Each structure stands twice: as structure tokens, then as C-alpha cells.
Amino acid sequence: MRAVTQIARLLDANHGYAAARAHVGDAKPSRRLAVLTCMDARIDVFAVLGLHLGEAHVLRNAGGRVTDDVLRSLALSTHVLGVDTVVVMQHTKCGLAGVTDDELREHTGADLGFFPIDDHAGALREDLTILSETPYLDPVQLIAGFVYDVESGEIDDVVRWERPAPAGA
Ligand SMILES: [Zn+2]
């Protein structure tokens, strides 16, 4: 019964949305931006960054970490859909921070790599290095690593990477 109510609420809400929605025709993000962040329910990505519909790709997973699936999506973002800037946004009070893979494996019964976060700056640097050194992500010119504070709503601008100009330029 609860499941029926849960889904019915979603479909009800959609009736109002479909009537009033803003329509964006172009699939290419108009700000050439992709944002990778955590799935945490407290983060309203568009509001936090002042983004609007049609402006950015938003990729979310537990922790907002760079996984193989994130690389798969960014390969398409960059080569097919014109993205040249990536923001990686972790956040305070994250469930992936301060835990270990072993603890999460035991807790979930899933024998997976969970990409836990030891410290935000270190994890962001790690992820920016993967992104900047992935050969097929060569259209990416700029990457920023943020930590969003879920209590104050403020962003800590932790780390940046910019593609070096080609030699002789
Ligand atoms: Zn999180």
C-alpha cells in the first residue's frame, strides 16, 4: 500500500509539472558544464550553484566520486555534448566520509569498492587527477573541486585544475 502511495504522489506531481514546465530544446548544456556531486538528499544542485534547466549535466552517486560510470558519462558530455568544464562537489556530513571500504562491505553485504572519503581535499585531488589524466577527456579545459557545507549552504573552493596551454602557444 505504501509503495502505491509513494508512486501515486510522483505521478500526481507530474500532472502539474507537465502543464507548467520550461521547455529546453537543445540537449547540449548551454554553459558547457558538468557537475559531479553526491546523491545526498540535502543537496539541491541547481539552487546551490545558481543553475537553470538546460545549462549543465548533473552526475550523482554516493560521495560524488569519479567512478568508471562517471568517466563513461563524461566521455559523452565532452565529445558529444560540448562540455569543457567539470565541477566535482563533495559535501560535509557525507555518509562516505570517515568510513572504510571494509565497514561499508560489511554493512551492505555488497562486495564493492565504495570510494570512501578520508579527507575531502585529498579525495578531491585524487579525483581531479583521474579526470585530468584520462586521455579521452581531452576536451576538458577546467576542473574545480568544491566542498558544499550542508549546514551553512556555503561552498569551500578547494582545488582547481586548468589544462596547460599547448607548447609554443
Ligand atoms: Zn554524500
Q: What is the pLDDT of residues 42-81, one digit of tens each?
A: 999 999 999 999 999 999 999 999 999 999 999 999 999 9
Task: Give kind and range of the element (H or E) at residue 105.
Answer: helix 101-108
Q: How far does the centroid of ligand 1 lie from the alpha carbon of residue 37, in Å?
A: 8
Q: How far does the centroid of ligand 1 lie from the alpha carbon of residue 97, in Å?
A: 8
Q: Which residues surround ligand 1, an ion (CB under 5 A)?
A: 38, 40, 94
Q: Which of 71, 69, 57 is nearest to 28 (CA)?
A: 57
pLDDT reported for residue 168: 75
Q: Which of 39, 42, 57 is nearest to 149 (CA)?
A: 42
Q: How far does the centroid of ligand 1 lie from the alpha carbon of residue 132, in Å?
A: 23
Q: How far does the centroid of ligand 1 lie from the alpha carbon of residue 23, in Å?
A: 30
